[in-house]
Amino acid sequence: MSTTLQAVRGMNDVLPDEAPLWQHVEDVARRTFAQYGYRNLRVPIVESTPLFVRGIGDATDIVEKEMYTFADKLSGDSLTLRPEATAGIVRAAIEHNLTYERPLRVWTSGQMFRHERPQRGRYRQFHQIDVEALGFAGPDVDAEQIVMLARLWKALGLSDLVLKINSIGDADDRRQHRASLVAHFEQHHTLLDDDAKRRLQSNPLRLLDSKHPPMQPVIAAAPRLVERLGAPAREHFDGVRRALDNAAIAYEVDSRLVRGLDYYNRTVFEWVTGALGAQGAVAGGGRYDGLFEQLGGKPTPACGFACGMERLVLLLQVANVVASDGPIAYIVHAGDAAAAAAAALAERLRDAGHAVVVNAGGGSFKSQMKRADASGASLALIIGDDELAAQSVSVKPLRSNTGQVSVPASEIAASIATLAA
């Protein structure tokens, strides 16, 4: 006997009972983004590896150890399953000249892949909803994206997310800060772990992210970039804060927020929750004014963010939010003539826009009623010999204690919404 096959570790199925919540999040997000003029764009899941190495940065966790990279069988080209969406969107924008005439607001969603240690809220295949504003230089669009996220949380009924913002300045600001950071950490070299020692020269900013306990006092005393910004980055950050204040959005300035991708500059932000344990980041993003040039495009300032779908769904489950995709009615029937009447009635109801399931595969009245209940339908519509003779349908509410009623078959389509209410 062959062994049973299982899904790859860290890559999950979304089963039909869970899917309505996913669809709910996707629907609400799509509607919210449309309210701000964001348009959908879809990019491939597989891209050439150098896109991510150049875009995300070769000293990042993602590029150093988390990418699913393989050689194309025919060409031998190195390909990678996308670990995030921004690099692919910028590649597409450059390739199709999407943003050089006028700026563009876009969003996308789908699978991302990172070879991380799977745990609750952290998976190897996960889904992001990703939003990018391409070709916008001012702080207004940074704030607009944050305000849009606040609206999304409200529409989903999520009330306890905290917004953290920071500015990591312009390239010159970071160069100067980097030098003082390296000097600071070198003074405390013995307290650094191996990872930190290795990264001290290549990416000292990431040391601020370290969870290594002996390093915490050193990190707390490190020079803060947000307090040493040059005038342009300072004004930009002040602009973002003013716009958030005007929109009455509460935030915390977190000078340690650096994020795990190298392309960011100026504004970075994250929305976090305490409800998911260690995996508290629900959405994160920021400005990446240099990425177009880094990928061979013309200078194009831009700003974007990504939300983790799995974490949003987990949060809704924690908050006991239920979404249902049950039909309005499940039709139970017995005998050939009743089966034909059931199929015809179902089509009439579908013509009127209703979702209706017709029992298939036979079964006793009792087992059909069990299936009707399991379908999530509001009503069972019963057609047997008596109903056929009377040209009526017996309507049994499945979600309330209201009793069964008999309704003329010709009146079902008009009255079903009232009967299900």
Query: Does residue 26 bind ligand AMP (CB under 6 A)?
Result: no
Q: Which of 394, 316, 306 is nearest to 111 (CA)?
A: 306
- x/- mask, ligand AMP, residues 45-84, rule CB under 6 A, reads ---------------------------------------x
Nearer to ligand AMP, 260 or 363 (CB): 260
Q: Which of 195, 235, 242 is nearest to 214 (CA)?
A: 195
- Structural tokens at position 333: 């029937």
112 vs 110: CA distance, rounded Å = 7
- x/- mask, ligand AMP, residues 80-109, rule CB under 6 A, reads ----x-------------------------
Query: Does residue 123 bind ligand AMP (CB under 6 A)?
Result: yes
- Restricted to residues 299-318, the positions that interact with ligand AMP (CB under 6 A) are 306, 308, 310-311
Q: How far is the CB of 230 from ligand AMP (least distance, A)?
A: 25
Nearer to ligand AMP, 143 or 306 (CB): 306
274 vs 188: CA distance, rounded Å = 32
With beta carbons less than 8 A apart as the criterion, state whether 56 and 62 touch. yes
Phi, psi of 366 (to 5 degrees): -65, -45
Place of tokens 């290594």: 212
With beta carbons less than 8 A apart as the criterion, state whether 104 and 135 touch. yes
Q: How far is the CB of 249 from ligand AMP (least distance, A)?
A: 18
Nearer to ligand AMP, 65 or 399 (CB): 65
Q: How far is the CB of 96 from ligand AMP (least distance, A)?
A: 23
Cα dihedral across residues 399, 402, 408, 410: positive or negative: negative
Closest CB to ligand AMP belongs to which residue? Answer: 308
Query: Does residue 122 bind ligand AMP (CB under 6 A)?
Result: yes
Q: Which of 125, 127, 132, 130 is nearest to 66 (CA)?
A: 125
Residues that bind ligand AMP (CB under 6 A): 84, 114, 116, 122-123, 126, 128, 260, 281-284, 306, 308, 310-311
